[in-house]
Amino acid sequence: MTDDKGMVAGEPHYIREYRRMISSLRKRSANEEEVMERAVGGAYEKTGAVQAALIDELIPERPIHIIDVGCGSGRLAYALRGQKRIAYSGFDIMADLVEYAKSKCGRSDWRLETISTLQLPVPNACADMVVFMSVFTHLKPGEIKIYIKEALRVLKPGGLVVASYLDPNEPRHTKGWLPAPLQLLARLLGRDVMLTRTSQKMLAEWLTDGGFVIERAIDDGSFGQHVLIASKSGGQIATADGSSYEN
């Protein structure tokens, strides 16, 4: 049941807030490309290229299946579109973003779909990598933990989860942070969505509690957010120099 603003009663906060934000962006810009890019944080090609380079470094050359959770308007899909070795499944809660991503990357062999729950519509142990870029930053701790469980389920043994986060201990991530009442107002007005900060220690704990082994942290600012990489034990982990090891 939707009301006159297209809101659905009882829907999760992330769907409600992203819908509101996209509608607010459209009121402020008639340029749909700009709306689609701003809805995921902008710097479309640059950010996608940085994310794609990390994937190539983590698992170079061999054929892989990547699941991009919160794929948005396709920053990563667009950057990876030329790689035949990659089978890609992108899921997002916003149909408009998914449709835009589909048309931008032009890979009819890739799966891009809208989801409305925290369950991934894929079988167990089907993926080599699950990517959450700028997604945990918009979810509550309980929701993040559900996605961590899902990542473990859908990854093959040795598969990697790559997750970015905003760290309350990182001055770059606290700069410009609005006090809670102003954040709430921005969310109600569709000017922003929920922003969550998670310390590295906390996210690492959730990942290890969820059955992952922490492999690496990237906190040099290259992603705008910090990134944690963890593996599902019981398989070969590819290293940057092309060798691999059993974990």
Ligand X SMILES: C[S@@+](CC[C@H](N)C(=O)[O-])C[C@H]1O[C@@H](n2cnc3c(N)ncnc32)[C@H](O)[C@@H]1O
Q: 57: how many CB neighbours lie within 10 A of its CB?
A: 11
CA distances from 84 to 71, 113, 159, 175 (A): 19, 20, 20, 40
Q: Which of 52, 69, 130, 154 binds ligand X (CB under 6 A)?
A: 69
Give whichever of 229 and 237 is closer to ligand X, judged by the CB atom.
229
Query: Smallest gap, in angstroms, from Cβ of residue 74 to ligand X?
Result: 7
Positions in 140-179 near ligand X (CB under 6 A): none
Residue 27 has a CB neighbour count (10 Å cut-off) of: 10
CA distance 113 to 94: 9
Q: How far is the CB of 190 from ligand X (least distance, A)?
A: 13
Considering the complex, state which of residue 135 and residue 152 has its C-beta at the smaller distance from ligand X: 135
**CA neighbor of 40 nearest in space, from 90, 76, 87, 81:** 76
Candidates 214, 200, 217; CA nearest to 166 is 200
Q: Would you say 149 or 233 has its CB closer to ligand X?
A: 149
Classify 3 in phi/psi space as left (phi over 0), alpha (psi -120 to 50) or beta: beta
Q: How far apart are CA 176 and CA 191, in angstroms?
A: 15
Residue 139: CB minimum distance to ligand X, A: 6
Distance in Å, CB of 203 to ligand X, minimum: 16
Q: Which of 16, 18, 58, 212 binds ligand X (CB under 6 A)?
A: 18
Task: Answer yes or no whether residue 60 interacts with ligand X by CB under 6 A.
Answer: no
Binds ligand X (CB under 6 A): choice among 58, 133, 154, 238: 133
Q: Does 41 bind ligand X (CB under 6 A)?
A: yes
Rounded least distance, CB 119 to ligand X, Å: 10
Window of 132-140, 152-160, 173-181, 196-204 that interacts with ligand X by CB under 6 A = 132-140
Where in 83-112 is the site for ligand X (CB under 6 A)? 92-94, 97
Measure the CA angle with vertex 134, ends 42 and 231; round to 5°.
140
Q: What angle do CA 175, 180, 185 make, to 5 degrees?
A: 105
Contact 238, 60 (CB under 8 A): yes
Closer Cβ to ligand X, 131 or 237, answer by number: 131
Residues 178-207 that bind ligand X (CB under 6 A): none
Q: Which of 25, 35, 36, 40 binds ligand X (CB under 6 A)?
A: 40
Q: Looking at 134, 200, 225, 231, which residue binds ligand X (CB under 6 A)?
A: 134
Round to whole Å and give the CA distance between 24 and 186. 11
- What spatial distance separates the first Cα and last Cα of the chain, rounded to whole Å? 48
Q: Which residues bind ligand X (CB under 6 A)?
A: 14, 18, 40-41, 69-72, 75, 92-94, 97, 118, 133-135, 138-139
